[in-house]
Structure 1
Amino acid sequence: MISPLEIKNKAERSFKNYLSSLVEDIDLFPIEIAGNKKPNKDISVFHKEIEKLVNDSKEKKGYGYSVEYKRVNTRNNAIQDLPQKIYFDTETDYLKFIDKQKEASQFKIDSVMLLVKYPELKNFIISKPNRIVKNAGKWQEIIKVINYFVENPKPDLYIRELPIKIHTKFIERNKGILRELLDIILNNEVVNNEEVFELRFGLKLAEPMIRFKVLDKSLANKYFSGLDDLALPLNLFKNLNIKLSRVIILENKVSLYNALTIPNKKDTIAIFGKGYSVSNLKNICWLEDTQLIYWGDFDAHGFDILSKIRQYYNNVQSILMDRETFDIFYEGDKGKYLDKTELPNLLDEEQELYKYIRENNLRLEQEKIPRDYFIEAFEKL
């Protein structure tokens, strides 16, 4: 039979729907909780389950779930009053039971404040109410930032130069939610088709540092005094005057560290792509004359990044992003959703794997692929 803990877990899972209903002005109550209400065949166990169910109910505690019973004649337990329906009759009963009164109260304040200023956010709040809850305590500052961009699209300033009365690091720390909202509120004409926040919303971007590993010891000795792990400002990296035959772009930092264990590769460097920051590598002329290799995570975003790199260079080959490797090492991890059913610039087998991974929300990180396996793959280059 369903327990009070199961009732609480089910009630908590419905909290998102409850929040959405507030914005939609829909009355959800009473909220019924589905679950197993069959009596245990052991009458002593059954009585304990009923006792626990009653003791945690509104009947005993004054709030929480209510239980409706139906008198039935059971084969094993004779005449018994069995739970027929479990439900939360009122908002107060529901919120107090799951201890969400404060969150709900703050959500009401924040959602009203947002909708008064920007009614076009209604669908966003309905579909993602947890984003409002997660950012509680920040909404006045967030609205200040939105107001500024509405009044000053593409300001062409550094983030910390913006004349907004907020903490100097506020925008940097809250780029995710700010991007979601600005994408909805700003006109398409003032939103650039860029992934990097600053470039997307017309801000100056501090020159990024390009980190790379030199995989050829003779190159490291000749040009970098033996150093093989370096970072250069983008403008200096663009002007490197070194003859390279191969450049490997790696999505994450752990893979970059592992790259140093690759046996000496003549005229080769490995670059830390840093996810979507790989866009920093566009328009570097000398990359066009090298064999470009990309190794990313097995998830929708890894293939999206591969697609973007091929927008910049048509000589990009992926490595260890094939179905065989995925099937060998996949451990059941879940990825992040990407709202793109198909990606340009992928080979047929890459497109097929992307669709499979995206539709099933799968993820295999580079770190999960054993060293010996990727060393063998890179030695074949």
Structure 2
Amino acid sequence: MIGVEEIKKKALSKYTTFLESVVNNENIFPLIISGNKKPSKSTKEFDREIRELLSNSKEQKGYGFTIAYETRKSKILGTQSFPSKFSFESEIDYLKFLNKTKEVALFREIKKETFTEFSELKTWMLKYPKKIISNKENWDAILKVCRYFKKNPIPNLYVRELPIQVHTKFIERHKGIIKDLLDILIEDYVNFDASKFEERFNLKFSEPLIRFRVLDSKISEKVFSGISDLSIPVSQFRSLKLKIKRIIIVENKVNLYNILTLPNTENTIVIFGKGYSVSNLKNIEWFNDKEILYWGDIDAQGFEILSQVRSYYPQVQSVLMDTNTFTKFYENDLGTISLVKNELNLTKEEGLLYNRLKAENLRLEQEKIPHGYVINFFNNL
């Protein structure tokens, strides 16, 4: 037979529905819990379960569930009145049973205050009432943040510079719920393509740096006052629009240093891609008409990163990532097992080598290729 704990579990499963009814000013009572369950196998056990149900019922406690019975015959118990359903006749009965009275009172206060200022959040509150419950102790501070952004949708400040009377780390710790609300409240000003909170809501942030070397001394002198090795924020790098012809992207620092020893090379820059951080190079418009070369490790991950770069710029060509180079310099090193299953954006030859490297977990790191061989290769491009 169903017990008190199972009744509570089923009642809790309806809590979200109840909170939705509060948002909508609806009455969902009486709330019915089904009691259809096989009876106990002994009279003694049946009597014990009935006593437990009665002692926790509204009849005994003054609140909680009311028991409805149906009379039927059982082979073991004979003709008995079996509990058939349990109903919470009122909100008071339901909330006192679940010990949620104070929580719901606070939920109603939050709803009233929020609707008064931000009626456009009703649909969201109806859909995510449990998010409100999870953040109930912080709701006043959350509304302070909402008020500020509603008046200042383009702050252009760092998060901790915002003149909001909340803890300095409050926004950083509650970005998820604040993002949900601001997406609605300042919809016309949200950068929906940006996943980073600061970028999404027009805040300053510490950007990743792009390190690159200008191999053409004339461009270095003309644009950067003779400085050839630079690291600048992504947004500034995007705005450079350098008048060059060729971009070389290398995966790690060792090969960045290798290429730095190249003699003056016209209309060319080399960029340190930092492995998977190469994602920082996407959406750079002035890359679109440039020749782009990618040089990574000859292992599964190297080709996966190559595929990633090629998804940004289809014209990307790999260099020093071929079977001949691998065969010539491979030193029996093992790589990192790849779990990638999707098809990569590789040429036929690259794909064949990738499949072998992945299947056998092989690796030739860039730095294992002799410096002289590298310099000779790039000098003859």
Give the equivalent residue in structure 2 for 1:121: 121
1:36, distance to aligned residue in structure 2 (A): 3.1
What secondary structure does 2:29 align onto? coil
Contact 2:183 2:190 in 1 (8 A): no
1:80, distance to aligned residue in structure 2 (A): 0.8
Contact 2:30 2:87 in 1 (8 A): yes
Distance 1:114 1:200 in 2: 23
Give the equivalent residue in structure 1 for 2:157: 157
Contact 1:292 1:316 in 2 (8 A): no
Alignment length (residue pairs) = 280
Q: Give the TM-score normalised by the residue count of structure 2.
A: 0.62
Give the root-mean-square deviation of aligned CA atoms: 4.2
Contact 1:192 1:199 in 2 (8 A): no
Letter in 2 for 1:131: K
Letter in 2 for 1:379: R
Give the equivalent residue in structure 2 for 1:290: 294
Distance 1:245 1:72 in 2: 80
Give the equivalent residue in structure 2 for 1:96: 96
Give the equivalent residue in structure 1 for 2:341: 322
1:321, distance to aligned residue in structure 2 (A): 2.3
Distance 1:161 1:187 in 2: 22
Distance 1:375 1:99 in 2: 57
Q: What are the superposed Cα offsets for residues 92-137 of structure 1, whole Å, 9 maximum, x if unpaired?
A: 1111111112211111111111111111111111110011111112
Contact 1:121 1:181 in 2 (8 A): yes
Letter in 1 for 2:6: E
1:376, distance to aligned residue in structure 2 (A): 5.0
Contact 2:36 2:84 in 1 (8 A): no
Relative to structure 1, is the Cα distance of residues 234 and 374 closer, same or farther in structure 2, using a 3 angstrom cutoff? Answer: farther
Give the equivalent residue in structure 2 for 1:205: 205
What secondary structure does 1:33 align onto? strand
Distance 2:150 2:307 in 1: 32
1:190, distance to aligned residue in structure 2 (A): 4.2
Contact 2:153 2:189 in 1 (8 A): no
Distance 2:67 2:192 in 1: 55
Relative to structure 1, is the Cα distance of residues 157 and 269 closer, same or farther in structure 2, using a 3 angstrom cutoff? Answer: closer
Give the equivalent residue in structure 2 for 1:70: 70
Give the equivalent residue in structure 2 for 1:172: 172
- Counting aligned pairs with the same residue, the percent is 39
1:14, distance to aligned residue in structure 2 (A): 1.2
1:244, distance to aligned residue in structure 2 (A): 6.6
Relative to structure 1, is the Cα distance of residues 138 and 280 closer, same or farther in structure 2, using a 3 angstrom cutoff? Answer: farther
Distance 1:316 1:180 in 2: 41
Residue among 363, 376, 379 paired with 1:379? 363
Relative to structure 1, is the Cα distance of residues 292 and 148 closer, same or farther in structure 2, using a 3 angstrom cutoff? Answer: farther
Letter in 1 for 2:73: N
- Of stretches 52-61 and 110-119 in structure 1, the one that deviates more from structure 2 is 52-61
Structure 1, unmatched stretches of 5+, are 211-231, 248-267, 297-305, 325-345, 348-372
Q: Give the TM-score normalised by the residue count of structure 1.
A: 0.62
What secondary structure does 2:49 align onto? helix
Structure 2, unmatched stretches of 5+, are 211-230, 238-247, 253-271, 319-336, 346-356, 366-381
1:309, distance to aligned residue in structure 2 (A): 7.1
Contact 2:39 2:46 in 1 (8 A): yes
Contact 2:71 2:82 in 1 (8 A): yes
Question: Which has the larger Rg?
Answer: 2
What secondary structure does 1:289 align onto? strand
1:20, distance to aligned residue in structure 2 (A): 0.8
Distance 1:25 1:316 in 2: 62
Relative to structure 1, is the Cα distance of residues 79 and 140 closer, same or farther in structure 2, using a 3 angstrom cutoff? Answer: same
Contact 1:246 1:292 in 2 (8 A): yes
Q: Where in structure 2 are the equivalents of 1:18-167 lying within 5 Å?
A: 18-167=18-167
Distance 1:133 1:98 in 2: 15
What secondary structure does 1:290 align onto? strand
Give the equivalent residue in structure 2 for 1:341: none
